[in-house]
Amino acid sequence: MNGHGAIDEHEIKTLLHPEEVAMLENKDAIATVAVSDLSTARKFYEETLGLQRAAGTQPEPPVYQAGKFRLLVYQSRYAGTNQATAVTWDVGEDIENVVQELKAKGVTFEHYDGLPQTTRLGDVHVTGRLKAAWFKDPDDNIHALVGR
């Protein structure tokens, strides 16, 4: 209802044709990461991770193209407060190579020993056919690499 108690045109359309309502199932998502310093973040995301700015985006905050999806990096006083994985990268069968390349660029990988039914081979955690490795950006945002 609008502010006057009447049903507006959008609500009528939704009631009569609910299948026409745009849902998120067909929309692209964008990962969003809060950082404390954009200059430091740009260096990490561009030079260390090798990401390129997404075409057609504004200079600030930086938006990076990551495969078919995008990653928005923005400045926030809450940067680094998330203690769970912020971004997951599907690297497929290249997980060991990606880990080695990032280590060569100074990335340190996290070790989560004690995960159920999981063994660790170096920096890669293995659960059945799934492999995963975690690292943090300069603001301690956790990134996961996953593959098989």
Q: Give 142's strand partners.
A: 85, 136
CATH number of the domain within which 52 lies? 3.10.180.10
Give kind and range of the element (H or E) at residue 97: helix 95-104
Cβ atoms of 79 and 141 closer than 8 Å: yes
| Contact yes or no for 86/142 (Cβ under 8 A) | yes
Q: Which residue has the higher pLDDT, 10 or 129?
A: 129
Domains of the chain: total: 1
Residue 100: domain span = 9-147
pTM of the model: 0.81
Q: Is the pLDDT of residue 7 over 70?
A: no
Instruction: Note whether residue 1 is domain-resident.
Output: no
Q: Which residue has 């996953």 as its token pair? A: 146
In a domain, 2, yes or no: no
Residue 66 is assigned to a structural domain of this protein: yes
Segment 48-89, tens digit of pLDDT:
999 999 998 888 899 999 999 999 999 999 998 999 999 999
DSSP label of 79:
T
Report yes or no on 3 lying in a domain.
no
In one-letter notation, the amino acid at residue 36 is S
